[in-house]
A and B are shown apart, each in its own frame.
Chain A
């Protein structure tokens, strides 16, 4: 038992936290977090660290196209992971592409979380008809495979845009499509947590004070439902990145002019049988490592935040 709490700084308290402690004693979590962190930093610092800018036509030369990785026969030391059919450096393209993948993933999860948690908490707190309507919509959406819903929303979104804006707004359409696909998961988790919290006596005490419903939800219930939501969000991030890659692979997502990892894999796929394996292989590996580490992180978080397991 540590008694002298007053003298400890915020940082010491933070380190003393059980979740932080669990993090530093779980090797898997540290590795997963490090890889995720490196991936995010590297992709977001792409303009600074990437050897080339794949979107700058001046730096691309078609003569250098289809070069294999540096360590194989015919490879050039100028291009570590080789080049694609247009002569773009694979390493730089992956860094820039990964940035778009992560951005789309995070934005989509945020959208899904915002929508899902709002609806879920409302559904759980008010119950009755509101609850029935919201949760039945969620149930119906869950019966259709997510990627089909995303393709549908994506298709509608594109069709609604004027032709000249489609490329420019493609990324936003993808974000909305994935976000709208994600929300039922968040709604279910938030609703479950709300049902538990709303029964607790501190919520009843808040009612007795006379606080309006909105304040009770925002100040008392919402903060206490965020733990399970955070877990779903992390695992959801991995799924959103995959969803984006799938959409792009199917040609429904990010256009090849500003490729994401999924777009890169699709483009590379066309050259797979011509023996140009590296164009699809390296983006695929990057995607796997990224998704895997985010997933591991989510797994650890689920264990650490589950009061039953602690």
Chain B
């Protein structure tokens, strides 16, 4: 038996009231022992469905409509739930995406491990305990004996994912399926987890399937890669070969859409395979358009000045001061952002970058410090009218395209709300003309204005958000991870749009991201944040080529090295 797992012509259908949806269409892949197979594709490609059908955990109403799955010489796609349950525990281990939800918060780690061990290996409680210690040790958890009695919330995200891996290995499986194992983790932890999976695979001679949307992950860990698009397998082969010399058009564009961290390009490479060609949208005469009127006459060199800004969130409330626990989300931060500049803010989750953005936007009130926008102190209590006038010049693009639009309003209502509220047009005819212009400007068809947000994809919604922000005629645009919820191909389009806008409307931009390559492409200057403090502020090129602060060096070192594979 050569291959551990063989999937032949697998098709999975999801019957729905609007007809059959074929999520997986005649996919054939195989994994050998000691091999890591990467299964890559964008959202909706059907990659997770392949993984789920192997372990017979397809979400109803989905079912396998054709093909066969052969594991270790036996056909498993037609097995009953009962038979499958035995294989799932002992022969096939699974690692899920979110370590927060894949462990039972009410049981200690030790209990969860030994429960699985007793069930799958039929061993006694005491030897299960012994084995648990070994397992925790093998996934790199320090002090495994003491940690057995800890609850999941006492572990950090990365450690928790290690425990999940230990659980997957508990039954001593031959095959491990990891579905986006590092998507919920920070970059610094991502690398450790991937290294762990890879070394376990070699040590134990495991077959591993890694399902991911991130080509960087594939480059890091996989031996072979299978690329899926729209339910079909478009390309398969050795990682080096596929990433360096992709044969299929889709693979080519997918790889080129990943922003590169090593040099600054003019525009992002657009995946034309998916969305069709993207034209650069220009309003015929931006300088005379409604959008450009009402610019502030006074010109300030600095758009935003932040001085010694701090905010605390209380984690534990108590009557006595010494018992209170506060988190300093933003701690004594000072930055200057020049007018017309694109300023990046980078850091891992929890570093306080989003909080800083919301402080500047006025959504939070700081504990101490000053914020000046175009030379006006927005925190002072007097001159409220002027403050609100200045605040209006600052708009924000949010991270989650699904919650940033009111689902009960049409696109027209959403985009026209700021215009109508500020009475910034002469009459309703002009309003509707401006709304149409804005919609066209962000690259959406005019017919969208009568529709509701749920009729659009994530990328399209983000375009609508941008149109809404523009409707206030901002001079400062704050983008809080505007593309982290989107696929790479869509990301390239949105980032290009933001770049064009900035250029044509000469906006000042505060761009927040955890994604270093994106920052490099978008920003003139960058601030690196860690634990609420700014570590380093530098010109983008200088930071990427010669980082000074230790943490900046550390972050840059974790950037996925796609360039190794690029020719």
Give chain B residues whose Cβ lies under 8 Å from the Cβ of A211: 417, 421
A21 & B447 in contact (Cβ 8 Å cutoff): no
A-B contact pairs, 6 of them (CB 8 A): A5-B455, A200-B404, A201-B399, A201-B404, A209-B472, A211-B421
Give chain B residues whose Cβ lies under 8 Å from the Cβ of A201: 398-400, 403-404
Residues from 1 to 20 in A contacting B, C-beta threshold 8 Å: 1-2, 5-6
Q: Report if B163 contacts A (CB, 8 A).
A: no
Q: Report if A59 contacts B (CB, 8 A).
A: no
Nearest CB on A from B395, distance (A): 6
How far is it, in angstroms, between the C-alpha of A202 and the C-alpha of B465 when the chains are bound? 9
Give chain B residues whose Cβ lies under 8 Å from the Cβ of A6: 447, 450
Q: Report if B363 contacts A (CB, 8 A).
A: yes
How far is it, in angstroms, between the C-alpha of A220 and the C-alpha of B408 when the chains are bound? 8
Identify the closest chain B residue to A207 (Cβ).
B363
Which of B391, B408, B422 has the most chain A CB atoms closer than 10 A to its own CB? Answer: B408
Give chain B residues whose Cβ lies under 8 Å from the Cβ of A207: 362-363
Count, A-B residue pairs, CB within 8 A: 63
Give chain A residues whose Cβ lies under 8 Å from the Cβ of B363: 204, 207-208
Write the residues of chain B forming the contact surface with A, with a CB cutoff of 8 angstroms: 17-18, 358, 361-363, 388, 391-392, 394-396, 398-400, 403-408, 417-418, 421-422, 447, 450-451, 455, 465, 468-469, 472
Partner of B403, one of A202, A208, A210: A202
Q: Report if A162 contacts B (CB, 8 A).
A: no
Partner of A224, one of B361, B392, B407, B468: B407
B406 & A210 in contact (Cβ 8 Å cutoff): no
How far is it, in angstroms, between the C-alpha of A209 and the C-alpha of B471 when the chains are bound? 9
Write the residues of chain A forming the contact surface with B, with a CB cutoff of 8 angstroms: 1-2, 5-6, 21, 200-202, 204-211, 215, 220, 223-224
A21-B17, A209-B472 known; A204-B396 Cβ under 8 A: yes
How far is it, in angstroms, between the C-alpha of A223 and the C-alpha of B407 when the chains are bound? 9
How far is it, in angstroms, between the C-alpha of A202 and the C-alpha of B398 when the chains are bound? 9
Give chain B residues whose Cβ lies under 8 Å from the Cβ of A2: 18
B408 & A205 in contact (Cβ 8 Å cutoff): no
Nearest CB on B from A307, distance (A): 11
A208 & B465 in contact (Cβ 8 Å cutoff): no
Identify the closest chain B residue to A203 (Cβ).
B406
Nearest CB on A from B414, distance (A): 8
How far is it, in angstroms, between the C-alpha of A210 and the C-alpha of B404 when the chains are bound? 16
How far is it, in angstroms, between the C-alpha of A201 and the C-alpha of B422 when the chains are bound? 21
Give chain B residues whose Cβ lies under 8 Å from the Cβ of A205: 396, 398, 404, 465, 468-469
How far is it, in angstroms, between the C-alpha of A215 and the C-alpha of B417 when the chains are bound? 11
A220 & B406 in contact (Cβ 8 Å cutoff): yes
Nearest CB on B from A14, distance (A): 13
Give chain A residues whose Cβ lies under 8 Å from the Cβ of B358: 204
B407 & A210 in contact (Cβ 8 Å cutoff): no
How far is it, in angstroms, between the C-alpha of A76 and the C-alpha of B17 when the chains are bound? 54
A201-B403, A202-B405, A224-B408 known; A208-B17 Cβ under 8 A: no
Give chain A residues whose Cβ lies under 8 Å from the Cβ of B361: 208
Nearest CB on A from B232, distance (A): 17
Nearest CB on B from A6, distance (A): 6
Nearest CB on B from A79, distance (A): 50
Q: A205-B398, A206-B406, A211-B421 are in contact. List 10 more A-B contacts (CB 8 A).
A: A201-B398, A201-B400, A202-B406, A204-B363, A205-B404, A208-B361, A208-B394, A208-B396, A210-B422, A220-B406
Give chain B residues whose Cβ lies under 8 Å from the Cβ of A209: 392, 395, 417-418, 421-422, 472
Identify the closest chain B residue to A3 (Cβ).
B455
Identify the closest chain A residue to B406 (Cβ).
A202
Which of B399, B405, B406, B451 has the most chain A CB atoms closer than 10 A to its own CB? Answer: B406
Nearest CB on A from B385, distance (A): 11
B395 & A208 in contact (Cβ 8 Å cutoff): yes
Identify the closest chain B residue to A25 (Cβ).
B17
How far is it, in angstroms, between the C-alpha of A5 and the C-alpha of B450 when the chains are bound? 10
Nearest CB on B from A18, distance (A): 9
Give chain A residues whose Cβ lies under 8 Å from the Cβ of B408: 223-224
Partner of B362, one of A206, A208, A215, A223: A208
Identify the closest chain A residue to B465 (Cβ).
A205
A5-B455, A211-B421 known; A224-B388 Cβ under 8 A: no
